[in-house]
Amino acid sequence: MVDKEQKIQVIVRKRPLNSKEISKGDQDILHRTSSDTLVVREQKLKVDLTKFIEEHHFTFDGVYNEDTTNQELYVSAIQPIVQASFQGAKVTCFAYGQTGSGKTFTMMGEGSIPGLYLLASTDLFYYRDQYFRNIKFTVSFYEIYCGKLHDLLNERNQLFAREDAKQIVNIVGLQNKPVETVEALMKIISTGMEFRTTGQTGANDDSSRSHAILEINLKQGKKLVGKMSFIDLAGSERGADVSGADFKTRMDGAEINKSLLALKECIRALDQEKRHTPFRGSKLTQVLKDSFLGNCRTVMIANVSPGLLSCEHTLNTLRYADRVKELKKGDKGPREDKLANALMLPRQNANVVRYNVDDTEETLPPPKPIKNEEESSRLLFKKPNKDDNKFKSKIGSGISGGKNTAQNPYIAPPKTVGKKAPQANMEDLSEKHEQLIGVILAEEEDLINTHRKMIDEMVDMIKHQMQLLGEVDKPGSDVDNYVRELDTVLSIKEDMIKGIREKLRVFNDHLRQEEELTLVFEKNKAVMDVFNLDIHDDDLLQDIDD
């Protein structure tokens, strides 16, 4: 189904509707039209309650239906890279998708059904015993949570990634355990999974909030001859799904989104053979640096849920996977599509078809093919006119014009008497929220480091003061020198305390701004949910507010 010699493969796996979705009357909106094409038929409702369907067409290296078994998926996409690991390659398999989309079933299996971990482990030991008997396996298992590394095989001890003079990233303190059997390897994986960080979100009560990385090293003596990495990425949710959660959950979500964006850029740079690969975009890409250089092979499995109720999450997963692997079709696309590509937006000019649905129609019609790109481009990518930016112009004038009052850039403009303030643009709110979370994460690390440094310096000062007291107690001591030294020490203390208090004040201000911004986001989301709008319907949202 897929080209087994490709350096990067992005495949999609659709799971069947589960019993809970069937009991709710959920519908299957995903349709595999060919071995590499998937169509999402999203049912939507206009403000006037007219039903219509948006069809989203996606093309990947391979698309697997709900009747595909783990064994068939493994043989088609994963087995070739397992074999490549014995030929000196560093191979990586990513599992990505919304929580509840079948990632755990794909990777771990269920009951008597083996997952990719077990199937790959069985083949690794089979190839070793048959053809490479001098190769030994060592295993490490760690997670990345909120930008910090924790060893899942050593009671979640914190680890540190260090880059040496040869620009090789080493994980200090990581345990590598030797394994001799498939059973021993699976026991290690099960032990590590018990320590993995999970949390509650709007999409799932037990969502994975960390990236789990299983590394199997193939060694001849002390020489590394190959490596296979399985990476179970954190459950992907929209910011809206964690907006009502506590601050820690929102921070988790922002860090997850940051690392996923950095991963996408690294894989695209690798696939397009760019001169620079942005490894330092996140801890995830930093520790996987050697998996992106030299002789390497990568497979990303995007797991998607078929139900209409999961449509938004499914589209987000497919759009992410679509942007990870740009299937090379030349540079004949329009300028707008290149911009959308850079911004990781859906290709609305080429892969979306809209049509109305009769009220009496109970089942979804078959997918409508796209006639040509020009027709869909005229319909969905029309040039903006002067009125299209009326919302943005109102916002701009409200901030820059009028009174010289300072306006918080992270909070929607306050309402004034006699004139309603326009609704905040949801895309702008989301972007500002992610920027603010990034600032808060950086300030948190800086505050902790400053506090730690202050304590170290305080200890040195205490030792110095004890020495001063010992000298001033001696007969004939220089009291003037004692007074000068004490005054200097106290001045340094005051400056240190003032500095850390200022950092603490700024940090608290940004925490408060994040809370207020979240409230604004939730208010706008509630309005959009009532009228079944999306983030592109800002004009309709403004009309409703008026």
- Residues belonging to the binding site are 97-104
- Is the CB of residue 182 less than 8 Å from the CB of residue 115? no
The residues with which 300 forms a beta bridge, in sequence order, are 10, 94
Structure-token pair, residue 74: 């493994």
Instruction: Map residue 542 onto helix, strand or coil.
Output: helix
The counts of H helices and E strands in the chain are: 16, 19
Of 349, 514, 327, which is closest to residue 434 (Cα–Cα)? 514
Structure-token pair, residue 257: 């989104």
Residue 113 vs residues 96, 105, 106, 160: alpha-carbon distances, Å: 20, 9, 10, 36
Sign of CA dihedral 179, 184, 186, 192: negative
Q: φ and ψ at 388, to 5 degrees?
A: -65, -30
CB-based burial label for 316 (10 Å; 0-12, 13-18, 19+): middle
Residues 6+ apart with CB under 8 A from 59: 36, 37, 322, 327
Residue with tokens 């979100």: 201
Structure-token pair, residue 139: 């295993």
CA 239 distance to own-chain centroid: 11
Using the 8-state DSSP alphabet, how is residue 520 labeled? H
Residue 242 vs residues 45, 69, 148, 435, 538: alpha-carbon distances, Å: 25, 33, 21, 16, 22
Structure-token pair, residue 539: 């004009």
Q: What element of type H or E holds 100?
A: none
Residue 407 vs residues 42, 400, 410, 412, 414: alpha-carbon distances, Å: 39, 9, 9, 9, 9
145, 147, 150, 156: CA torsion to nearest 10: -50
Pairing of strands 223-232, 90-97: parallel
Instruction: Map residue 19 onto helix, strand or coil.
Output: helix
Other C-beta atoms lying within 10 Å of the C-beta of residue 494: 10
Instruction: Map residue 109 onto helix, strand or coil.
Output: strand
Annotated binding site for ATP: 97-104
Pairing of strands 296-304, 8-14: parallel
361, 52, 237, 432: CA torsion to nearest 10: -160
Of 544, 240, 528, 243, which is closest to residue 422 (Cα–Cα)? 544
- Is the CB of residue 95 less than 8 Å from the CB of residue 20? no
In whole angstroms, give the CA distance from residue 101 to residue 14.
Answer: 8
Structure-token pair, residue 292: 């992106």
